[in-house]
């Protein structure tokens, strides 16, 4: 029977994964949070912009309904303000089309958060540019006042024009590059969007690991408070499950065959093998304990 891992051993495992195995998933990608009307409706301007971004492999496009909605509901709900600050620390830029009631609310909330406003690019409908509206006098002014945040007034119909849509993309791309340079995000385990590349090898190493243990591992790796570690873990588990890299059993999470293949192709084989042996010894031998030093020899520090 496998021994339960002690807290000091979990700390060693977290250190092993963080310092010898982890590789940022967004190392060569620009992470953009794209907001607007229903993404499933191909007629929305957010959907059209997503199609344009898809032509440029440097971008990873994220959506609020895919990242935070499950964390704002139910017994484990968290404050929107806390999630907004996590978002500000995680994404390179936020591109928003104020084209629906939901996107108006996002514009109002995000523009009132200085950490988010400075990363925002609002693609406003040109025909409302001179209107005396709450959006023009409120949120849009706050975005402009942030210095790096931008409001671009465009003709929405241009998103259907082959030449014009790429002119719009180039303007947006230029502003994103400037924002990214001025407000770089950390590409390590402390970034919620990077956490899944820490969580996945942990699940690979500790077969059938439960939520509580994963919370503890993230806590050891980041020194963040428990709430943030819970958010990072739940968000990562949701994306990893959706991508069929992990599955849940009555005893906990385990990698799928596709997940195991992804781990072997993505992370450092030598340290994965050493860590796997270290874990097996610790779990199956009475007096054996997990030790970082035995795994980390020759590590890329």
Among 170, 127, 165, which Cα is nearest to 48's?
A: 165
- Render 121-132 in DSSP notation, one character per residue: EEEEEGGGTT--
| pLDDT the model gives residue 74 | 44
Per-residue pLDDT, 72: 53
**Residue 79 pLDDT:** 58
Query: What is the spatial distance between Cα 191 and Cα 91, in angstroms, rounded to a whole number?
Result: 9
| pLDDT of res. 87 | 81
What's the rounded Cα separation, in Å, for the pair 218 and 156? 43
DSSP 297: T
Burial of 73 (0-12, 13-18, 19+ CB in 10 A): exposed
Q: How far apart are CA 109 and CA 80, in angstroms?
A: 9
Write down the pLDDT at residue 47.
95
**Residue ranges in the chain whose pLDDT is less than 70:** 1-3, 26-27, 65-82, 298-301
Q: What is the pLDDT of residue 78?
A: 55
Is 7-25+188-296's fold the same as 30-182's?
Answer: no
CA distance 210 to 216: 10
Q: Which two tokens stand for residue 210?
A: 């439960």
pTM given for the model = 0.81
Q: Are 217 and 230 in contact (CB under 8 A)?
A: no
pLDDT for residue 89: 85
pLDDT digits 0-9 by tens, 187-212: 888 787 888 899 999 999 998 899 99
Structural fold of domain 7-25+188-296: Arc Repressor Mutant, subunit A (1.10.10)
User: Residue 116: which of 144, 135, 89 has the closest Cα?
Assistant: 89
Burial of residue 209 (number of CB atoms within 10 Å: 0-12, 13-18, 19+): buried
Asked whether the beta carbons of 99 and 34 are under 8 A apart, the reply is: no
What's the alpha-carbon Rg for the chain, to the nearest Å?
22
Domain ranges of the chain: 7-25+188-296, 30-182
Phi-psi map region of 252: left, alpha, beta (phi>0 left; psi -120 to 50 alpha): left
Tokens of 288: 């054996």
CATH architecture of the domain 30-182 equals: 3-Layer(aba) Sandwich (3.40)
């Amino acid at each position: 029977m496998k021994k339960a891992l002690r807290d000091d051993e979990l700390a060693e495992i977290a250190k092993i994964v963080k310092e010898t195995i982890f590789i940022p998933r967004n190392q060569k990608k620009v992470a953009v949070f794209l907001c607007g009307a229903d993404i499933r409706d191909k007629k929305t301007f957010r959907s059209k912009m997503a199609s344009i971004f898809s032509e440029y492999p440097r971008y990873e496009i994220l959506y609020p309904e895919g990242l935070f909605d499950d964390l704002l509901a139910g017994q484990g709900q968290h404050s929107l303000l806390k999630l907004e600050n996590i978002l500000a620390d995680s994404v390179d830029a936020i591109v928003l089309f104020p084209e629906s009631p939901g996107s108006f609310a996002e514009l109002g909330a995000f523009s009132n958060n200085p950490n988010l406003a400075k990363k925002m690019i609002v693609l406003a409908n040109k025909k409302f540019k001179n209107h005396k509206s709450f959006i023009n006098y409120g949120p849009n002014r706050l975005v402009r006042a942030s210095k790096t945040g931008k409001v671009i007034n465009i003709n929405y119909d241009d998103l259907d024009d082959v030449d014009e849509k790429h002119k719009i993309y180039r303007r947006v791309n230029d502003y994103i590059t400037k924002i990214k340079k001025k407000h770089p995000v950390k590409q390590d385990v402390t970034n919620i969007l990077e956490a899944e590349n820490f969580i996945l090898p942990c699940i690979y190493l500790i077969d059938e690991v439960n939520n509580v243990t994963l919370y503890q591992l993230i806590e050891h790796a980041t020194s963040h408070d428990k709430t943030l570690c819970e958010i990072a873990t739940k968000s990562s588990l949701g994306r990893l499950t959706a991508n069929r890299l992990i599955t849940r059993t009555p005893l906990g999470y385990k990698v799928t065959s596709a997940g195991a293949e992804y781990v072997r192709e993505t992370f450092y084989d030598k340290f994965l093998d050493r860590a796997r042996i270290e874990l097996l010894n610790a779990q199956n031998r009475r007096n054996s304990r997990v030790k970082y030093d035995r795994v980390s020899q020759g590590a890329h520090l």
